[in-house]
Amino acid sequence: MKIVVPVKRVIDYNVKARVKADGSGIELTNVKMSMNPFDEIAVEEAVRLKEAGIATEVVAVSCGAVACQETLRAALAMGADRAILVESDVELQPLAVASLLKSICEREDPRFVICGKQAIDDDSNQTGQMLAAMMGWGQATFASKVTALDGKLTVIREIDGGLETLTLSLPAVVTTDLRLNEPRYATLPNIVKAKKKPLETLRPVDLGVDVTPRLTTLRVTEPPKRKAGKRVADVPQLVASLKNEAKII
Amino acid sequence: MTSLVIAEHDNAALKGVTLNAVSAARQIGGDIHVLVAGSGCRRVAEAAAELEGVTTVKCADGVGLKDHLAEDIAGLVVAIAADYSHVLAPATTFGKNFLPRVAALLDVAQISDVIAVEAPDTFVRPIYAGNALATVKSADRVKVISVRPTGFDAVAGGGRATIVDLVAPPGSGKSTLVGRELTKNERPDLGAARIVVSGGRGLGSGENYRKLLEPLADKLGAAMAASRAAVDAGFVPNDFQVGQTGKIVAPDLYFAIGISGAIQHLAGMMESKVIVAINKDPDAPIFQVADYGLVADLFEAVPQLVAELG
């Protein structure tokens, strides 16, 4: 069973995003970039399925600028077998990424695509579902447990109000939630080995995909700041403030 | 210009978030239709018909739609989408699950987590865990929008829409529901509660979480929530999580107890009217957003707070 794992290069989880002075976007020059945390969980799950003898090959795919090679190397160091970069300098929105991944899936013919439920930059939460629909496949989003057995997947999903269990026939798309697994750190020997693993570069035109953005960002602003609050000395003062000042209890 | 709002419900009752999504549709303007897709969901359609501003409720009632699976809901929406300029759903795990399928099948972009409508084609949405707000304009023929419920006040009742029955499609069988394990909860719904009591890693254990925070929530009639750290540590179930990738809440009063205030958590509760933080670390980032900050040992302060509230 071949697994395709899409990975995205995003601002590092620990960096606070700052709006550019001209309001055109987020300042990303000289900012630490990493693999989207949900995609790390996806790579980990795919590699575990390979280690369990269920998956035969794990192919990592990234769409974006040439620097996404670093993200792909990180996936290879975690245990992916090979990588594909769809290189583009155009801003790629979820619909375009899903179209590129559809084209990759038609070439690679995987049984299973596992990706992060959302990227922590644009917070869209769309790509996996879009890909599943374009391929005519079933989906299980927000997965906290994935079991593969007899050509079927059983997935526990995190939903509002609790958990839900689905079974899916393959091929299918699964998107990861936080509690699916804890991704491993790549070891130094594996980082070295990753440099020798195959990384193919394609362009959207090679795949016949039009990636023109459908949404235009008119401006990016900072959210209204909360005005500085006050420290209260003790519990009675807190309760008095909530009763008399905020008048909320 | 007509908007279609996809109702969220459990086949028995309409979920409150639908009222916020209809509110966003009212700001867009034009006629508003609501789609109720499910099984044995006639009462839900009747409730949706009473929402202010709704002119037509389309009801697809059949066993194939009983479990609200993404493949089936999306297929139904796409089949009727030609009549609409806008398709809206709440940005909950229900809406987030099926709506991108609708957008993909219509070959249009989706605009996620909209918090304001500037024009029928221009919307505001938070990005980067709410550290920035993007105003985006759609060039697509149909605008597919997920609505962040906290961004829009719920619409009132008093409407009298016509209910039109649709033929419910059979299930696609691409995915099958095995079961749901819903957290039993007598407390107000987290998304709609006026007061939220939220706990973090500082509580140390699930037992402490319950022992300390339940009396406070009882006293205030509050919903209970948690940071990711508390959920990951197994103190509480996943659906308690507030944050960038969990629930987004905006109550009148939010108690952050033993929560340090990582940016991902702040993204889920920054819109609360009043924030109270109790934490023993005076440098915890939560104090930068709290209206009232108390530097104290929560194991002493919380029981004292319960006693003080009388």
User: What's the confidence (pLDDT) of residue A227?
Assistant: 76
| First-residue to last-residue Cα distance in chain A | 58
Chain A CB contacts of B129 under 8 Å are: 17, 120, 123
Q: What angle do CA A23, A25, A29 make, to 5 degrees?
A: 115
User: What's the confidence (pLDDT) of residue B184?
Assistant: 83
- Indicate the pLDDT class of residue A226, thresholds 50, 70 and 90: confident
User: What's the confidence (pLDDT) of residue B206?
Assistant: 98
- Nearest residue on chain B to A20, alpha-carbon basis: B132
CATH of the domain at B220: 3.40.50.1220
| Residues B85 and B208 placed together within one structural domain of the fold | no
User: What's the confidence (pLDDT) of residue B156?
Assistant: 96
Check if A29 contacts B (Cβ < 8 Å).
no
pLDDT tens per residue across span B3-12: 999 999 999 9
Mean per-residue pLDDT, A53-75 = 98
| Residues B138 and B202 placed together within one structural domain of the fold | no
Residue B183 lies in a domain: no
Length of chain B: 310
Residue B190 lies in a domain: no
| First-residue to last-residue Cα distance in chain B | 54
| Residues B215 and B147 placed together within one structural domain of the fold | no
Residue B100 lies in a domain: yes
What mean pLDDT is reported for chain A? Answer: 96
Which pair of structure tokens corresponds to residue B255?
């108690």
Supply φ then ψ for residue A122, to 5 degrees.
-90, -5
Residue B297 lies in a domain: yes
Mean per-residue pLDDT, B186-206 = 95
Mean per-residue pLDDT, B266-287 = 96
User: What's the confidence (pLDDT) of residue B188?
Assistant: 92
Check if A118 contacts B (Cβ < 8 Å).
yes
Judge: A238–B292 Cβ closer than 8 Å, yes or no: yes
Number of domains in chain B: 2
User: What's the confidence (pLDDT) of residue B183?
Assistant: 85
pLDDT tens per residue across span B20-69: 999 999 999 999 999 999 999 999 999 999 999 999 999 999 999 999 99
User: Looking at beta carbons, which pairs linking B261-266 to residues 24 or more positions away fall under 8 Å?
Assistant: B261/B285, B261/B286, B261/B287, B261/B288, B261/B289, B262/B227, B262/B228, B262/B229, B263/A16, B263/B129, B263/B131, B264/A13, B264/B129, B264/B228, B265/B200, B265/B227, B265/B228, B266/B129, B266/B130
Judge: B110–A95 Cβ closer than 8 Å, yes or no: yes
Check if A205 contacts B (Cβ < 8 Å).
no
Residue A140 has pLDDT above 90, yes or no: yes
User: What's the confidence (pLDDT) of residue B185?
Assistant: 81
| Residues B11 and B159 placed together within one structural domain of the fold | yes
Residue B186 has pLDDT above 90, yes or no: no
Judge: B296–A142 Cβ closer than 8 Å, yes or no: no
- B174, B195, B269: best mutation site toward chain A, by most A Cβ within 10 Å? B174
Residue A228 has pLDDT above 80, yes or no: no
B294, containing H or E segment: strand B292-295
Check if B70 contacts A (Cβ < 8 Å).
yes
Q: At what angle do helices B93-106 and A127-135 cross, to 10 degrees?
A: 50
> H helices within B107-252, ranges in order?
206-220, 228-232
Residue A225 has pLDDT above 90, yes or no: no
pLDDT tens per residue across span B134-168: 999 999 999 999 999 999 999 999 999 999 999 99
User: What's the confidence (pLDDT) of residue A39?
Assistant: 98
Chain B CB contacts of A128 under 8 Å are: 100
Which pair of structure tokens corresponds to residue A51?
């280690």
CB contact residues (below 8 A), chain B span 121-140, against chain A: 122, 126-140
Mean per-residue pLDDT, B66-85 = 97
Residue A124 has pLDDT above 80, yes or no: yes
| Residues B20 and B62 placed together within one structural domain of the fold | yes
Residue B185 lies in a domain: no
User: What's the confidence (pLDDT) of residue B197?
Assistant: 98
User: What's the confidence (pLDDT) of residue A156?
Assistant: 98
Q: Where are the domains of chain A?
A: 2-245
Supply φ then ψ for residue B99, to 5 degrees.
-60, -40
Chain B CB contacts of A101 under 8 Å are: none
Residue percentage of chain B with pLDDT more than 70: 100
Judge: A222–B182 Cβ closer than 8 Å, yes or no: no
- A147, A160, A180: best mutation site toward chain B, by most B Cβ within 10 Å? A160
User: Looking at beta carbons, which pairs linking B206-215 to residues 24 or more positions away fall under 8 Å?
Assistant: B206/B234, B206/B235, B206/B236, B208/B235, B208/B299, B209/B235, B209/B236, B212/B257, B212/B298, B212/B299, B212/B302, B212/B303, B213/B257, B213/B302, B215/B303, B215/B306
Closest Cβ opposite residue B291 in set A121, A223, A229: A229
pLDDT tens per residue across span B116-138: 999 999 999 999 999 999 999 99
Chain B CB contacts of A215 under 8 Å are: 109, 111, 136-139
- Indicate the pLDDT class of residue A155, thresholds 50, 70 and 90: very high
| Residues B79 and B204 placed together within one structural domain of the fold | no
Spatial contact of B282 and B302, defined as CB atoms under 8 Å apart:
no
| Residues B220 and B264 placed together within one structural domain of the fold | yes
- Nearest residue on chain A to B121, alpha-carbon basis: A215
Residue B212 lies in a domain: yes
Q: What angle do CA A134, A135, A138 make, to 5 degrees?
A: 105
| Residues B124 and B216 placed together within one structural domain of the fold | no
Check if B165 contacts A (Cβ < 8 Å).
no
Which pair of structure tokens corresponds to residue B121?
């084609």
User: What's the confidence (pLDDT) of residue B218?
Assistant: 96
Reported ipTM: the value is 0.96
Judge: A223–B270 Cβ closer than 8 Å, yes or no: yes
- Indicate the pLDDT class of residue A88, thresholds 50, 70 and 90: very high
A68, containing H or E segment: helix A68-78
The residues facing A156 across adjacent strands are: A145, A165
pLDDT tens per residue across span B83-116: 999 999 999 999 999 999 999 999 999 999 999 9
CB contact residues (below 8 A), chain A span 139-178, against chain B: 139-142, 144, 154, 157-169, 172, 177-178
Check if B157 contacts A (Cβ < 8 Å).
no
Spatial contact of A32 and A12, defined as CB atoms under 8 Å apart:
yes
The residues facing A167 across adjacent strands are: A154, B176
Mean per-residue pLDDT, B238-257 = 95
Which pair of structure tokens corresponds to residue B267?
């993204």
User: What's the confidence (pLDDT) of residue A24?
Assistant: 95
Judge: A139–B71 Cβ closer than 8 Å, yes or no: yes
Among B54, B115, B114, B56, CA closest to B80: B56
For residue A204, cis peptide bond before it (omega within 30 degrees of 0): no
| Residues B224 and B281 placed together within one structural domain of the fold | yes
d(CA A247, CA A151): 59
d(CA A139, CA B69): 9
User: What's the confidence (pLDDT) of residue A223?
Assistant: 93
CATH of the domain at B45: 3.40.50.620
Judge: B239–A94 Cβ closer than 8 Å, yes or no: no
- The residue among B166, B185, B206 that closes a domain is B166
User: Hey, what CATH class is A2-245 in?
Assistant: alpha beta
- Sign (positive or negative) of CA dihedral A131, A133, A136, A141: positive
Residue B289 has pLDDT above 80, yes or no: yes
Q: Can you give the residue range of the structural domain that contains B236?
A: 195-308
